[in-house]
């Protein structure tokens, strides 16, 4: 799953630690998501969308390999 977390974070000018604090997760979780090593729960995806004031679809997108 591709994501735009790093881009969205840069637009808000916040660090991974700041985003993690707002989302109620660890900085390592944010880092793993940005690297594509962790797929968030629906609840966390919705929380991130709320923090970034955008839709989940604007942050996350499926890659072709995700369909197989």
Specify the CATH number for the domain of residue 26.
Answer: 1.10.260.40
In a domain, residue 15? The reply is yes
User: pLDDT of 37-59, one tens digit each?
Assistant: 999 999 999 999 999 999 999 99
In a domain, residue 68? The reply is no
* Token digits of residue 68: 């197989």
User: pLDDT of 15-37, one tens digit each?
Assistant: 999 999 999 999 999 999 999 99
Phi, psi of 13 (to 5 degrees): 55, 50
Q: Which helix (H) or strand (E) holds 31?
A: helix 27-34
In a domain, residue 19? The reply is yes
3-class DSSP assignment, residue 53: coil
In a domain, residue 16? The reply is yes
Question: Range of 53's domain?
Answer: 2-63
Helix axes 16-23 and 42-52, enclosed angle (nearest 10): 120
What is the reported pTM? 0.89
Structural domain total, the chain: 1
């Amino acid at each position: 799953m591709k994501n735009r977390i790093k881009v969205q974070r840069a637009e808000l000018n916040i660090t991974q630690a700041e985003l993690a604090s707002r989302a109620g997760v660890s900085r390592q979780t944010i880092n793993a998501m940005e690297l594509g090593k962790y797929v968030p729960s629906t609840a966390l995806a919705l929380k991130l969308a709320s923090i970034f004031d955008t839709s989940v679809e604007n942050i996350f997108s499926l890659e072709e390999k995700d369909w197989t």
